[in-house]
Amino acid sequence: MSKFHLPYPNYVAPFNLDFDTKLSFIGSCFSDSIAAIATSHGFNTLSNPFGTIFHPIPIIETLRAVIKDSESIDFLDKKDFVTDWGSSHLLQSSNIQNHKKLILEKRQGLKRQLSGKSCLFITLGTSIGYRSLELNKIVANCHKEPSKVFIKENSGVLDMFNVWEEVIKELQSWNAELKIVFTLSPVRHIKDGLIENQRSKSRLSVCLELLEERNDISYFPSFEFINDVLRDYRFYNDDLIHPNQQAINEVWLLFQQAYLTAQYRDISDRIFKVNQAKNHKTLHENKEEQKKLKDWIEKQNELIQKLINQSS
């Protein structure tokens, strides 16, 4: 029989997750996709509180600001709203005071999520950055400002490695319980060109290899899984760039296999079914059917809690 794809990888993570572990996802939009499905399976998750950030350097600045309780913010006061250079275009406020309050609240929220028993998943998207001439640093988002205020540059492997190694040590010194996992986004940045995108991803990949060799961090192979196992455009949205929900579901199966014991996989799948039932919209007002659904959800919640208690 003909084979149409490579076998699924037998990837086992160096540690297991449970429902007491707080999960934080930061980086590419791929982070949001995995975080959403993790939430629906019962995990305590926080994803991209500052919006999607694709380049490694702005992610570093965000993490440092969080653990050091920094109140420094590089504001961008536009005509109709205020935003900042460390966040995506989704974070906008009516004035500087409101935006400062918003950013500081989000920093505190991420700090709480990273405290104690927690795991940080960082998804890097590109090593091509845009350096603000005014600030002399790579920004998280260009906010549709004119190209003349930036310098487009390729970040070198060693430059990214050196700053990441520093912040990894800072994070682990701040919280010894924190697990750090890197992933590489499978989303292609075709606006830079396919060749440039591939070289950009390669620089990131080598950087992560060096970090893994020298530091107590790990790597989750979602990039390789989608590009080599799910090697078909039917696993992408209509833009042919972003993985679709079917691909995300397959990555989640790999995630479960890697980080969850068989018992926790069973519990998380039960939670997912309950959440689906809660979100189910009945097409009629049949009170008897609604009561049956409510009773089933209550019984499942009791069973799930019992299983969690037994596994703790």
* DSSP track, 255-305: HHHHH--HHHHHHHHHHHHHHHHHT---SS--HHHHHHHHHHHHHHHHHHH
Say whether both 50 and 169 belong to one domain: yes
Looking at this protein, which amino acid is placed at residue 133?
L
Who contacts 74 (Cβ-Cβ below 8 Å, separation ≥6)? 84, 85, 86, 135, 139
* DSSP track, 193-205: -HHHHHHHHHHHH
Of 219, 234, 260, the position where a domain reaches its end is 260
Who contacts 228 (Cβ-Cβ below 8 Å, separation ≥6)? 6
Say whether both 49 and 151 belong to one domain: yes
- Structure confidence at residue 285 (pLDDT): 64
185 closest CA partner among 126, 231, 258? 126
Say whether both 118 and 185 belong to one domain: yes
- Locate 222 and state its tokens: 């979602």
Helices (H), the chain: 29-40, 56-67, 96-114, 157-174, 194-214, 222-224, 245-259, 262-278, 287-311
Say whether both 232 and 270 belong to one domain: no
Per the prediction, the chain carries an average pLDDT of 91
Provide the domain count of the chain.
2
Q: Under a CB-based contact definition with an 8 Å cutoff, are residues 220 and 15 in contact?
A: no
The reply to whether 271 falls in a domain is: yes
Task: Work out the burial of residue 15: count CB atoms within 10 Å of its CB; fewer than 13 is exposed, 13-18 middle, 19 or more buried.
Answer: exposed
Say whether both 137 and 242 belong to one domain: yes
Cα(207)–Cα(69) distance, integer angstroms: 28
Q: Which domain holds residue 305?
A: 262-312
Q: Which is it for strands 179-184 and 218-219: parallel, antiparallel or unpaired? A: parallel
CATH label of the domain that carries residue 116: 3.40.50.1110
Say whether both 82 and 63 belong to one domain: yes
Predicted confidence (pLDDT) per residue in 247-273, tens digit: 999 999 999 999 999 999 998 998 888
Say whether both 116 and 206 belong to one domain: yes
Say whether both 55 and 196 belong to one domain: yes
Say whether both 166 and 268 belong to one domain: no
Say whether both 253 and 192 belong to one domain: yes
Say whether both 92 and 195 belong to one domain: yes
pLDDT at 312 over 90: no
Classify 133 in phi/psi space as left (phi over 0), alpha (psi -120 to 50) or beta.
alpha
Predicted confidence (pLDDT) per residue in 16-33, tens digit: 999 999 999 999 887 898
Predicted confidence (pLDDT) per residue in 284-295, tens digit: 566 776 777 777
Q: pLDDT band for position 3 (50/70/90)? A: low
- Sign, Cα dihedral of 191, 192, 195, 198: negative
The reply to whether 7 falls in a domain is: no
- Structure confidence at residue 104 (pLDDT): 98
Give the distance from CA 259 to its chain's centroid: 16
